[in-house]
Amino acid sequence: MSRYLIYDVETPNRHNNAICACAWLLLDGEEAAGRGYTLINPEAEFDNFNIGIHSIHPEDVAAAPTLAEYWKDTLGKLFDGSVIVAHNASFDVSVTSKALDFYGIEMPRVHFIDTLAVFRNLLPGQSCKLPDLAKRYSIGYKAHDAGADVWALHAVLDLVRDELEFNSYAEMFETASICPTSAASEREKALQKSHSTAADALLECARSKQVDLTDVAFSFHGEMQTLPVFRTDGLDKIITDLGGIFLSGVSSKTDYFVCFDDRVSGSVKKARELSEKPESHIQIIDESAFLDILGYRTANVNREGPQAIRDRKQAARLAAIEAAKEKERIKAEKAAARVAEKSDVNLSATPKKIGRSIIQMDKDGNIVAEYETITLAAANVGASTKVIRDCATGKQRTAAGFVWKYADTDTEASP
Span 359-414, pLDDT tens digits: 999 988 899 899 888 888 888 888 888 999 999 998 999 998 899 999 887 644 44
At residue 261, does pLDDT exceed 70?
yes
Q: What is the pLDDT of residue 335?
A: 84
Model pTM above 0.75: no
**Are the C-beta atoms of 137 and 152 separated by less than 8 Å?**
no
pLDDT of residue 184: 34
Q: What is the pLDDT of residues 205-244, one digit of tens each?
A: 899 889 999 999 999 988 787 777 787 778 899 999 999 9
Neighbours of 177 (CB within 10 A): 10
CA-based torsion, 366, 369, 375, 380: positive or negative = negative
List domains and CATH numbers for the chain: 3-182 (3.30.420.10), 186-302 (3.40.50.10190), 358-406 (no CATH)
Query: Cα dist. 385→10, 394, 397, 410 in Å?
Result: 96, 14, 15, 21
Task: State how far the Cα of 169 lies from the Cα of 33, in Å rounded to an integer.
Answer: 16
Position 353 scores a pLDDT of 55
Looking at residue 193, what is its pLDDT? 41
Closest CA to 369 of 312, 338, 407: 407
Most confident region among 19-23, 112-116, 191-195, 223-227 by mean pLDDT: 19-23
In 3-state terms, what secondary structure has residue 251? coil
Mean predicted lDDT score pLDDT of the chain: 85
Report the C-alpha gap between 332 and 338 in whole angstroms.
10
| Per-residue pLDDT at 187 exceeds 50 | no
